[in-house]
């Protein structure tokens, strides 16, 4: 038997060796056959001005066989006799060439005019990509809508180089943290400035379905036109406008849910008993004689014997988090009048049973051409939000709560004292014990008039008004776990009202002309006036007799507390910008802005923010390189 097994092993090894030799010979024959059939081609790749293109890709279609042009724009490549090669380079139109009997190729790539003539929105204007000197990233509507979220910036996570977008909390209605140019302040905000349809605004009041484009200004030369407000970068959001043609109706709906949360769970069962035994031995010098000695309470022992284990983390996060959104928009227009209107409804439900968000929005954008030289329009956005917020310490209490007892009563309600001397971490879920309801109404209206009285000169005046009202009602019952204010008794209730308004008036005089089809010259003069005012009031009381009154009857409390606040700021700004471009190869930009703000002390209220950038191409040893320099003071 042993000899037969050895012979079988030898025969198997011989068979595998034969297969390996045969495969090697076959592969060598195939390679040799391809080498005999392949032909060598060479060539040079240039642009329409006759300049060599360095780094162009030449790939045999349908294969991974390819080459890259060298410093002189030349290449060599072995291809099959009937090959088709693809020639491509960034910013140029791709070419497809059949080789046939050709051995030498002279390839001329044409510039992709659609790409280089694409308009990019910058501060107080727009330029073609070819004339752009600053660092700008553009995101279109399709990229925003690709992510199923109600938060515009959350949808852009990972899509903008250099921008860190982090969702810091899983709470319903939770916002994101945004860093574009790193942390520049210890105490102040490090988030970029958001410009909505030309005016500073709030991105979280915009439905993602209403966005046409997002342009992110990163470097100093791009953001300096906004002065100190643009120190952390600038994000310009442009909403959709009506288009000429038949009415277009779009309806979008989605429903999503999250999986089970991957939270750490508290110990139960044998794991918890073993831990408690070790703790007992550490304290008393020996292990307990039985479970009664360990637990020290008859109710605890009875619950242990009955197997009444409770995984509190499962209990508090047992709900599935869901998100749903429904949006309807209509776009239509004639040669002179264009309209875009939309409405949307969003609903979010969190892992905690007491948190949910309902959000409604309406938008109307109108553009009217009054004459060949005059145009006006307005943008309006109305948002109403109703949020019931939960608290984070529900989870931390769940981790440390005693894991034995009856979490629920026979009627399905939460047991506040679920076992002798132990109180449920789900106290906030008990009816009328905890309320944190926030309602807000936001209205933004932006009107403009655009005049072109003389060729190449455009004057735009834009005025914007924003109204924001919010009310937060809170109630802490005797059985809730949420942290209440340090001065509060139990129970405690409060109502906080916030009202704010602001207006901004900006005027832009722009000049742009082309001389001899090669020199593009532009300039802008800008004035901006802004005023903000906010006031808040908070009334609170402790000692109410009836939980059902929640925060509505503060006068029934035995002790009252009142706070109020007021703030007002004003800002005046002047700015100018000069642009020059020669055939899209040599670009120059210079700007300066003067800001005056009311909140600084006399003598220190004004400052200036100059910036410049230069972009040029120059020859060096037949190699065209690009030089880009920018500076700001």
504 and 607 belong to one structural domain: yes
597 inside domain? yes
Q: Does residue 333 fall inside a structural domain?
A: no
Alpha carbons 410 and 430: distance in angstroms, whole number: 15
Residue 472: enclosing H or E segment and its boundaries? strand 457-476
Q: Where are the alpha helices (H) located in 161-268, listed in sequence order? A: 220-223
Q: Do 96 and 221 belong to one domain?
A: no
Q: Tell me if 359 is assigned to some domain.
A: no
Domain contains 323: no
| DSSP E strands, 25-147 | 39-47, 57-60, 66-68, 74-79, 84-88, 95-98, 104-109, 119-122, 125-128, 136-140
pTM value is: 0.76
For residue 299, give its domain range: 269-308
H or E element in which residue 274 lies: helix 269-284
The tens digit of pLDDT for each residue in 498-553 reads 999 999 999 999 999 989 888 989 999 999 999 999 999 999 999 998 999 999 99
Residues 281, 285, 286, 291: what is their CA dihedral angle, to the nearest 10 degrees? -50
Whole-Å CA distances, 302 to 280, 306, 308, 411: 20, 6, 9, 22
Q: Are residues 483 and 617 in the same domain?
A: yes
Exposed/middle/buried for 238, CB within 10 Å: 0-12, 13-18, 19+? middle
Query: How far is the C-alpha of 466 from the C-alpha of 270, rounded, in Å?
Result: 60
Indicate the SS3 state at residue 49: coil
Give ∠ CA 470-472-473 in degrees, rounded to 5: 145
Are both 463 and 520 inside the same structural domain? yes
Looking at residue 357, what is its pLDDT? 94
**Total domains, the chain:** 5
Distances in whole angstroms, Cα of residue 287 to Cα of each of 276, 277, 282 = 10, 6, 9
CA-nearest of 187, 165, 161 to 174 is: 165
β-pair partners for 216: 137, 235
Q: Are residues 160 and 188 in the same domain?
A: yes
124 and 205 part of one domain: yes
CATH of residue 101's domain is 2.60.40.1120
Residue 495 and residue 539 in contact, taking contact as beta carbons nearer than 8 Å: yes
Reading the block at residue 380, the tokens are 């309006």
Residues 54 and 131 in one domain: no
Binned average pLDDT, 10 residues per bin, the chain of 633 residues: 43 46 44 57 87 87 88 89 86 85 88 60 67 71 77 80 78 81 71 88 88 84 80 87 92 81 82 93 91 91 94 84 92 94 93 90 95 94 94 84 93 92 92 94 95 93 96 94 91 96 95 89 93 96 92 92 95 92 84 90 88 69 44 48
Cis peptide bond N-terminal to 491, omega within 30:
yes
Residue 573 host element (H or E): strand 559-582
Residue 227 lies in a domain: yes
User: Does any domain span residue 425?
Assistant: no
Q: Domain with 183 in it: what CATH number?
A: 2.170.130.10
**Are 165 and 296 found together in one domain?**
no
Query: Are both 519 and 446 inside the same structural domain?
Result: yes
59-72 burial, b at 16+ Cβ within 10 Å, e below that, comes to bbeeeebebebeee
Are 83 and 133 within one domain?
no
Q: Is 313 helix (H, G, I), strand (E, B) or coil?
A: helix
Task: Name the residue with tokens 């242990």.
Answer: 304
């Amino acid at each position: 038997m042993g000899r037969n097994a050895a012979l079988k092993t030898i025969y198997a090894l011989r068979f595998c060796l034969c297969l390996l030799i045969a495969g090697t010979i076959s592969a060598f024959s195939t390679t040799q056959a391809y080498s005999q059939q392949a032909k060598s081609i060479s060539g040079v790749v240039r642009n329409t001005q006759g300049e060599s293109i360095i780094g162009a890709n030449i790939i045999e279609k349908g294969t991974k066989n390819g080459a890259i042009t060298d410093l002189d724009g030349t290449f060599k490549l072995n291809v099959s006799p009937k090959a088709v090669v693809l020639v491509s380079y960034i910013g140029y139109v791709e070419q497809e060439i059949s080789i046939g009997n050709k051995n030498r190729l002279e390839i001329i790539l044409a510039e992709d005019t659609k790409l280089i003539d694409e308009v990019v929105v910058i501060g107080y204007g727009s330029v073609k990509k070819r004339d752009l000197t600053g660092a700008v990233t553009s995101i279109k509507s399709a990229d925003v809508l690709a992510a199923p979220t109600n938060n515009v910036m959350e949808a852009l996570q990972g899509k903008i180089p250099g921008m860190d977008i982090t969702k810091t909390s899983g709470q319903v209605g939770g916002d994101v943290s945004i860093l574009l140019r790193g942390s520049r302040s210890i105490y102040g905000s490090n988030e970029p400035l958001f410009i909505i349809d030309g005016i500073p605004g709030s991105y979280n009041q915009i439905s993602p379905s209403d966005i046409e484009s997002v342009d992110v200004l990163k470097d100093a030369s791009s953001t300096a036109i906004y002065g100190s407000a643009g120190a952390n970068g600038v994000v310009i959001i442009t909403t959709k406008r009506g288009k000429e043609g038949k009415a277009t109706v779009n309806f979008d709906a989605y429903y999503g849910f999250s999986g089970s949360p991957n939270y750490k769970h508290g110990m139960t069962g044998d794991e918890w008993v073993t831990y408690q035994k070790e703790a007992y031995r550490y304290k008393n010098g020996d292990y307990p004689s039985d479970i009664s000695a360990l637990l020290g309470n008859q109710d605890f022992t009875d619950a242990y014997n009955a197997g009444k284990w409770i995984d509190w983390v499962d209990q508090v996060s047992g709900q599935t988090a869901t998100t749903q959104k429904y949006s309807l928009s209509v776009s239509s227009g004639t040669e002179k009048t264009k309209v875009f209107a939309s409405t949307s409804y969003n609903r979010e439900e969190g892992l905690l049973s007491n948190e949910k968000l309902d959000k409604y929005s309406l938008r109307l954008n109108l553009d009217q051409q009054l004459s060949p030289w005059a145009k006006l329009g307005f943008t309006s956005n109305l948002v109403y939000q109703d949020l019931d917020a939960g608290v984070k310490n529900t989870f931390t209490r769940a981790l440390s709560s005693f894991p034995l007892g009856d979490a629920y009563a026979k009627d399905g309600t939460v047991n506040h004292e679920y076992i002798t001397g132990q109180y449920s971490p789900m106290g906030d879920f008990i009816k009328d014990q905890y309320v944190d309801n926030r309602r807000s109404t936001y209205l933004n209206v932006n009107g403009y008039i655009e005049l072109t009285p003389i060729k190449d000169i455009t004057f735009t005046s834009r005025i914007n008004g924003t109204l924001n009202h919010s009310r937060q009602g809170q109630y802490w019952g005797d059985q809730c776990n949420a942290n209440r204010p340090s001065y509060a008794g139990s129970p405690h209730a409060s109502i906080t009202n916030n009202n704010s308004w602001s207006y901004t008036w900006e005027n832009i005089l722009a000049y742009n002309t082309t001389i001899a089809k090669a020199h593009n010259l532009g300039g802008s003069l800008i004035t901006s006036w802004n005023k903000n005012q906010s006031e808040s009031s908070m009334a609170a009381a402790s000692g109410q007799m009836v939980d059902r009154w929640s925060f509505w009857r503060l006068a029934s409390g035995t002790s009252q507390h009142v706070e109020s606040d007021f703030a007002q700021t004003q800002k005046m700004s002047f700015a100018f910008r000069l642009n020059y471009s020669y055939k899209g190869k040599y670009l120059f930009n210079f700007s300066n802005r003067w800001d005056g703000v009311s909140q600084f002390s006399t003598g220190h209220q004004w400052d200036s923010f100059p910036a410049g950038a230069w972009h040029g191409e120059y020859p060096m040893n037949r190699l065209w390189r690009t030089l880009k320099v920018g500076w700001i003071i």
